[in-house]
């Protein structure tokens, strides 16, 4: 006795839901949104074991959220398309609006480091045209190399202290990293402000910028 076709479809969609139903996998999706990565490389970023990472990736693949290709002895994974980013944005949106626990974390941690309104895409575009702003990419060098905002300077967060001289006379700094909840840019903005540098944060990260159809640079 076959179940109804609708439930059969919902069974498939539920597979996607379950794939989104684990914090580590959401983290992996955020990292993959920066650019394709091998299993080991991703495991290093997320702090999971290789085998565990591989299994999570296969779950994401079965759900159609990521795709893979072989390059030599590496298997490189990437998000299947920008709709996956849109799905994550919808998920995060519902969480921010409807879950008190989410708002508590946002207040206690994120707003404590950056209470100012983040800079929107349009705002940043307008200011860069006037040459008023230094765009700061605080992600690790490999992610910057894969793709970054046009004209952005790369200073990974853990080097920021030692390389302050490179930006300390900029009239305004806008920092960004991997996405809306990436801690790097929050920490960076907080650190820069303490040194009296006029710093703000981009509302979202590189993947959202690209998904909005805005230009990126590589290399």
Q: Show which residues are catalytic.
A: 177
Cα separation, 191 vs 186, whole angstroms: 9
- Contact between 54 and DNA per CB under 7 A: yes
51 binds a copy of itself (CB under 8 A): no
Query: Quick check: 186 and 108 in contact, CB under 8 A?
Result: no
Shortest separation between residue 59's beta carbon and DNA, angstroms: 6
Pseudo-torsion of CA 102, 109, 24, 146, nearest 10°? 120
Of 27-46, binders to a copy of itself (CB under 8 A) are 27
Within residues 132-171, the interface with a copy of itself by CB under 8 A covers none
With contacts defined by CB under 8 A, name the span among 34-42, 59-67, 69-77, 190-198 that binds a copy of itself.
59-67
| 139 touches 35 (CB < 8 A) | no
Paired tokens of 217: 């640079």
Q: Which is nearer to DNA, 55 or 83 (CB)?
A: 55
Picking from 73, 62, 64, the residue whose alpha carbon sits closest to that of residue 40 is 73
Are the C-beta atoms of 172 and 162 separated by less than 8 Å?
A: no
Q: Using CB atoms within 10 Å of the CB of residue 100, give its burial: 0 to 12 exposed, 13 to 18 middle, 19+ buried.
A: exposed
124: three-class secondary structure by DSSP: helix
Among 20, 75, 106, 214, binds DNA (CB under 7 A): 75
Judged by beta carbon, residue 1 or residue 130, the one nearer DNA is 1
- Residue 164 contacts which entry, a copy of itself, DNA, none (Cβ below 5-8 A, type-dependent): none
Q: Which of 7, 10, 13, 49 binds DNA (CB under 7 A)?
A: 49
Q: Which residue has the tokens 């040459």?
A: 131
11 binds DNA (CB under 7 A): no
* Interface segment toward a copy of itself; rule CB under 8 A; list 32-40, 62-70, 120-128, 194-202: 62-70
Binding site for a copy of itself (CB under 8 A): 4-27, 63-65, 80-81, 83-84, 86-87, 90-95, 97-99, 101-102, 105-106, 108-110, 181-183
């Amino acid at each position: 006795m076959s179940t109804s076709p609708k439930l059969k479809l919902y069974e498939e969609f539920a597979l996607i839901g379950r794939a989104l139903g684990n914090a580590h996998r959401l983290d992996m999706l955020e990292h993959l949104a920066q650019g394709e990565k091998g299993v080991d490389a991703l495991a290093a970023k997320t702090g999971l074991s290789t085998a565990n990472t591989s299994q999570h990736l296969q779950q994401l693949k079965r759900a159609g959220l990521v795709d893979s290709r072989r390059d030599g002895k590496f298997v490189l994974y990437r998000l299947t398309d920008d709709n996956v980013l849109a799905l994550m944005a919808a998920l995060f949106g519902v969480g921010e609006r409807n879950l008190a626990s989410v708002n508590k974390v946002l207040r206690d941690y994120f707003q404590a480091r950056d209470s100012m309104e983040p800079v929107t895409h349009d705002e940043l575009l307008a200011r860069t045209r006037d040459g008023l702003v230094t765009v700061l990419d605080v992600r690790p060098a490999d992610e910057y190399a894969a793709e970054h905002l046009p004209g952005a300077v790369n200073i990974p967060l853990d080097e920021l202290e030692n390389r302050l001289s490179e930006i300390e006379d900029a009239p305004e700094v806008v920092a960004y990293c991997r996405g809306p909840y990436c801690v790097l840019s929050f920490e960076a903005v907080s650190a820069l402000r303490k040194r009296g540098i006029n710093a703000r944060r981009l509302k979202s990260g590189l993947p959202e910028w690209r998904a909005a159809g805005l230009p990126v640079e590589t290399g």
